Structure 1
Amino acid sequence: MTLSFTPGPTAVPPAVREAMADPQPNPILEDEFTERYEILCDQLAAVYETSHDVVVPGGEGILGLEAAIASLVSPGDRVLCLSNGIYGDGFADFVDSYGGEAELVSAPSDEGFDLEGVESALETAADDDDPFALATMVHCETPTGTLNDLEPVLDSLEDHDVLSVVDAVSSLGGTPVPTDRIDVCLGASQKCFSAPPGLTTAAISDRAWDAMEERDPASLYTNLLPWKDVSDGFPYTHLNANVAGLETAVDLVLEEGLESVFERHEAAAERCRERGAELGLEVYPDPERQSPTVTAFHRPGEAAEIQQRVAEEEAVLLATGLGELEDDILRVGHMGYNAEVEKVDRAMDALEAVLS
């Protein structure tokens, strides 16, 4: 069987698979399911390290990104979208699709956010008395392994009283996220939690809830507001086995302790990059901005072939980049269940065998 070392979906530990295989309570009719869901939300708040409400809609992580926009953006609203990669650009596409006006402040994929551009856009909006309704950004831009520094941007947004939406799908549970400074902080089950795809997580501030309540919802499925209070039932039939699996996965994180989990991810990342350096592999864009959850190696024009050979010859699945960098970047996912030095060595042994 092929061993997966991709940056999501990640390998799923036995305890999570077993929990999902158990008989499940009916999510519509049985209080046992509602109680499990509420426990899961409390557990996730501990992982988020937040006092904000946490909700868990049914749907893969992209649902959360779209739902945040659908819930907060009305036609004509201006939205500041920070980007240095594909997922940052994707937020602007969602804004356009819901009738908002996206102002994209872009930076090259091998650089951090354009902080001067962000401040300039905010100042201009204030001077014109045409404020942004919210701003969007990505913490870990997974296709390049870039971990963005959120703090300077959050400082500027707070100064201008602009709501913040952050995609933390590939960082949450693997490295600290400043959730209490973020109005909508999005995660997903299939990354650092090492549960199967199928659930979005969202930590939502009071002022984000207030903003949602002032808008007419564009849809049901991509509307976060019905999840604020599920005491009278869920907006739609929930994914009971997925909730059981994620509850177990989050249990494992909390039992280990967040500090230990973060240290384990750092150690796995360091080992991956050490092995890569021994093989002459260059990290993209540079080690200082690489996430502890994924390493991107720069192999221009060779990534797809190397990935295919590692899978066929060594039964190890790695990932390439996306978009314009698809054949230029080879990615090793060391997040969640795979964030262990011994497992990283298995992946890098396979890569070494092919490259040599």
Structure 2
Amino acid sequence: MLLTPGPTAMPPSVREAMSEELINPDVDPRFADRYDAVLDKLGTVFGTDDEVVVMGGEGILGLEAAVASTVAPGDRVLCLSNGPYGDGFTDFVESYGGESTLVDADYDDSLPLADLERTLAGGEYDVATMVHCETPTGTLNELSPALDLFDEHDVLTVVDAVSSLGGTPVPTDRIDICLGASQKCFSAPPGLAIASVSAAAWERIEDRDPASLYTNLLPWHGAEQPYPYTHLTTLVVALDEALDLLLGEGLDAVYDRHQEVAAHCRARGRDLGLEPYPGPERSSPTVTAFSVPGRATELQDRLREDHDVTLSTGFGDLAADVLRVGHMGYNADLDRVERAMDALAAER
């Protein structure tokens, strides 16, 4: 049983959709119609009227494309971070010639708003990046206070919502480029990067001289055909089915289900003497990172080999100390989480 925080397990109907007859996306109007329908459904999930694009590539493509499309050499970019993915935005910025300023906090702390306010008061910035759900630490960040500050200083915002979109509300209407991916809360196969792009972001993108062609959002904007390259038809069909399941359940019901399953997972953890990292008040409804100092890899191996349950460890410095349960999308299910926690209880 796969219970990782992406890629997630897929519902049977999504797997079945992948066996549909392949259609040529470049010449068959049936695919164009389906792609348009997918964009409409994604707009509902994002909660926005902004233009949505679906690119062929894993979610990281979206993060890089957002930076490649909005950052020119010499542009000043503020990267707000309390986790590995927030830190990683600086690498994208610098690879495209931007000047990054990292305003960061420890991974078990909340976003450093006081430091952010001081930094914004001390200089002008073109673009800001941050992460909604830091999957490696199981942290869900409250974005509104930071978005308020960026609005005051007229800074374009890029938000990684890859591990939250479709599992918990995202304030997309306040974000210029909001990024998602197919393999997280949608429980579709990995391979599609998704972005909603505001009018202000498109204006900035149109003014750039892009250093990249493929990692560039501009070819997807205002084109006669809505996808500039041969699209990944099977993955789009699978995402379409996954969106039908999500919207058929209803977004509010989906969010409630994630909250209920997350609370149950953490209650079972407390019964085992396990505490979430960084703490329950900042834990995401889509993933729980349990603190297991020095035991993460050992427990992961034993759960997989003895119980057929696959969980994830942490990243980097947390690799040996954090064990993560991905209760997002199809995996936000009480029975599946109960089985995983029963297995963990047997190995404690």
2:193, 2:127 → 1: CA distance?
A: 20
| Residue of structure 2 equivalent to 1:270 | 263
SS where residue 102 of structure 1 aligns? strand
2:265, 2:95 → 1: CA distance?
A: 39
1:140 touches 1:170 (CA, 8 Å); kept in 2? Answer: yes
Please state if 1:309 is matched with 2:302. Answer: yes
Please state if 1:249 is matched with 2:242. Answer: yes
2:301, 2:101 → 1: CA distance?
A: 38
| Residue of structure 2 equivalent to 1:119 | 117
1:57, 1:282 → 2: CA distance?
A: 38
Which aligned segments of 4 or more residues in structure 1 are displaced greater than 3 angstroms? none
TM-score, structure 1 normalization = 0.97
1:11 touches 1:337 (CA, 8 Å); kept in 2? Answer: yes
Q: Deviations over 1:123-151 (max 9, x none)?
A: 111xxxxx211100000000000000100
Query: In structure 1, what residue type is equivalent to 2:328?
Result: M
SS where residue 316 of structure 1 aligns? coil
SS where residue 96 of structure 1 aligns? helix
225-234 vs 256-265, greater mean Cα deviation? 225-234
TM-superposed CA distance for 1:234, in Å, is: 2.6
1:77 touches 1:101 (CA, 8 Å); kept in 2? Answer: yes
Please state if 1:61 is matched with 2:54. Answer: no
| Residue of structure 1 equivalent to 2:312 | 319
Query: In structure 2, what residue type is equivalent to 1:251?
Result: D
Q: Deviations over 1:257-312 (max 9, x none)?
A: 00000000001100100100111111111100000000010011111111111111
Point out where structure 2 has 5 or more consecutive residues left out of the alignment.
none
Point out where structure 1 has 5 or more consecutive residues left out of the alignment.
126-130
2:50, 2:341 → 1: CA distance?
A: 39
Matches within 5 A, 1:143-154: 143-154=136-147
Q: Deviations over 1:138-186 (max 9, x none)?
A: 0000000000010000000000110000000000000000000000000
TM-superposed CA distance for 1:225, in Å, is: 1.1
2:220 touches 2:226 (CA, 8 Å); kept in 1? Answer: no
Matches within 5 A, 1:180-259: 180-232=173-225, 234-259=227-252
Query: In structure 2, what residue type is equivalent to 1:276?
Result: G
Query: In structure 2, what residue type is equivalent to 1:169?
Result: V
Query: In structure 2, what residue type is equivalent to 1:124?
Result: G
2:282, 2:141 → 1: CA distance?
A: 7
Q: Deviations over 1:196-253 (max 9, x none)?
A: 1000110110000000000011111100111113433632211000000001101111
| Residue of structure 2 equivalent to 1:329 | 322
SS where residue 288 of structure 2 aligns? strand
| Residue of structure 2 equivalent to 1:48 | 46
Please state if 1:134 is matched with 2:134. Answer: no
1:56 touches 1:201 (CA, 8 Å); kept in 2? Answer: yes
1:75 touches 1:99 (CA, 8 Å); kept in 2? Answer: yes
Alignment counterpart, residue 275 of structure 2, candidates 274, 282, 289 = 282
1:75, 1:63 → 2: CA distance?
A: 20
2:253, 2:281 → 1: CA distance?
A: 21
1:290, 1:135 → 2: CA distance?
A: 23
1:267 touches 1:340 (CA, 8 Å); kept in 2? Answer: no
250-259 vs 24-33, greater mean Cα deviation? 24-33
1:354, 1:175 → 2: CA distance?
A: 31
Give the percent of matched residue pairs that are identical in Structure 1 and Structure 2. Answer: 61
1:189 touches 1:195 (CA, 8 Å); kept in 2? Answer: yes
1:167 touches 1:186 (CA, 8 Å); kept in 2? Answer: yes
SS where residue 57 of structure 1 aligns? strand
Query: In structure 2, what residue type is equivalent to 1:165?
Result: V
1:343, 1:233 → 2: CA distance?
A: 38
Q: Deviations over 1:102-132 (max 9, x none)?
A: 000010000011101111111111xxxxx21
| Residue of structure 2 equivalent to 1:28 | 26
SS where residue 54 of structure 1 aligns? strand
1:230, 1:142 → 2: CA distance?
A: 34
Q: Deviations over 1:62-101 (max 9, x none)?
A: 0000000000000000000011111001101100000000
SS where residue 283 of structure 1 aligns? coil
2:53, 2:223 → 1: CA distance?
A: 10
212-221 vs 72-81, greater mean Cα deviation? 212-221
| Residue of structure 2 equivalent to 1:128 | none
SS where residue 296 of structure 1 aligns? strand
1:28 touches 1:233 (CA, 8 Å); kept in 2? Answer: no
Please state if 1:260 is matched with 2:286. Answer: no
TM-score, structure 2 normalization = 0.99
Q: Deviations over 1:38-72 (max 9, x none)?
A: 11011000001112111101100000000000000
2:35, 2:222 → 1: CA distance?
A: 12
2:138 touches 2:284 (CA, 8 Å); kept in 1? Answer: yes
